[in-house]
Structure 1
């Protein structure tokens, strides 16, 4: 092989290598563009107003309110809602949300601090959470309580562009019971709360499917031991945590 042939071969290989780099760069740019246009759903940090329930009324020992006005007027449907927003550049459809947490760990923690046997809590084989207390009996269907279909979701960061997601009554009830068992000796009981997760499944307009897991923490910022029914109990946050 003549020297000029080696030079030609080297030039050809260099051209081929440059073409491959350009092609890979193009693929990467297309992937980045595709990812930048995808829906991106997040949970807005939610402030919770907590009030003690009046004796003998209601199912929860502590009621949750989304804002102070509804708390003061006691205008509660017993369902606390989270705000979720789509900060991505493309709308989402067929949005389904599933709550996951170890209910038995919550129950074990309640029994640990339930010294006066104020509550009897169990989960039946048919997926019902049964709670017995001096206020009466309560049954919650876990199959219907832990998932919700929200459907279509546009983009935007403002409150008027968000969707509202119900916090499961079962989760509200278990956390409320735990709080009601707090006293000066175990006021930090919620530091040992089981993990709470949200599984989001949705599609973009083209039909591509996405799945996202969000970890949530119920964090008490202030809490007052019970001293008078229907009075302010404290405040808390239900916030997304990094994983």
Structure 2
């Protein structure tokens, strides 16, 4: 873009110079000079006009190149915004801090196809490992904004065991389904998994509507018992 601005400045300077030369030529035509002088002047003006035309061609070419770069950059930015961005982590459950969950999210601008996740080293899960789960071998689709979450292990038991606490997750997925993929390469992301990241951290208790309803029912039951006891005392 800087080269384009410099070229435009040169073109503007040459244009002003040509206008000035044409003005001077017009003034000189009113004076009595021989034919050879005018021939030499015409040759000089033709040379200047040729140079100006060459500069104009160069500026036009630079403008074309810069415009092409801008279009390519805008296209790439749009593609990045539309690309999926899949991530995975092992984190405490929001409601139950003693439970660790595996959370997979697609926070990008498009769907992710044929998603596979591999942990190195592999992480034990139930009576198998995470790498042995079918879903991690190949998930056909994780839609834009979709979250997959499932129970992993008890935080207390796992953190106090000899099982691996660190691993590297390699995620591989495509931005197009199979029938539209051609020979496009998959997106590959590597994410460090630190299961001890939240160890010792205190959490805020979250209550949902079901728990609030249960608490109201308990308060109602306690209130009724209190009324009944007061009635019995009055009778006595």
TM-score range, shorter chain: 0.3 to 0.5
Higher helix fraction: Structure 1 or Structure 2? 2
Higher strand fraction: Structure 1 or Structure 2? 1
Task: Answer with 1 or 2: which has the greater Rg.
Answer: 2
TM-score, normalization by structure 1: 0.45
TM-score, normalization by structure 2: 0.46
